[in-house]
Amino acid sequence: MFAFRPAAFLLPSLFFLTIVNALHFYLDANEKRCFMEELPSDTVVEGHYRALEWQEKAQGYVLEPNLGIVVEVEEMETGHSVVQTRGPPDSRFTFTSHESGDHQICLSTNYTSWWSSTHIKLYLDVVVGNTKADAERDRSHVTELAGKVRDLNQKLEDIRREQQYQRERESDFRDLSEGTNSKAVWYSLLQIVVLVLTCTWQLKHLKVRIS
């Protein structure tokens, strides 16, 4: 759960994989607001903030380009600084927890004067995401997929060769069938000619014997 320190008030609880929408709080120019989040190791956290500065002339909070927001993230157990950056009044920050445990997330402005009376209204959305992708597992998965693709390509190649072989066999069979049919036609014609000649010879032979 998130908790401001010093705790002027408490933010609503945030659970794993939960997005906080339209959450906002107020701070003075020289003030720092911090909250805690207990995170598992290798967990991605993304935050989006939008800071508005009070303008007397406008009698309201407006986006001031000169305003900068400082984001600091620290692992409480080890004291390791995970993030320390300054961005424009409307921006994002992202970090990955290296160790499990409490993490302190602090936001402040780039206004450092103790006599500054500037008031800031800061909107904050925080997303605690899934654990960081395992690169070794991803590589293994990609290698496995590549192996499956190779196997599939090999099967497709085998199928292509089989189809080509079948087409060649069909072509040979068609040529053989056409040749056999052609020979059968000529053989039939030859039989007809032989029969005609035989009949003619027999008729002539009968006429000679009758005469």
pLDDT along the chain (211 residues), means of 10: 40 41 76 87 88 88 90 90 90 88 89 73 83 62 85 89 88 86 86 87 78 65
Of 106, 98, 108, nearest to 78 by C-alpha is 98
Give the model's pLDDT for residue 176: 86
**Dihedral in degrees, nearest 10, Cα atoms 189, 190, 195, 197:** 110
Structure tokens, 148: 């499956």
In sequence order, what are the beta bridge partners of 185? none
Residues 69 and 55: their CA atoms lie apart, in Å, by 17
H/E run at residue 167:
helix 135-210
Give the model's pLDDT for residue 199: 87
Give the model's pLDDT for residue 69: 92
Who contacts 60 (Cβ-Cβ below 8 Å, separation ≥6)?
54
Of 42, 43, 4, nearest to 25 by C-alpha is 4
Is residue 107 within 8 Å of 145, Cβ to Cβ? no
Give the model's pLDDT for residue 8: 34
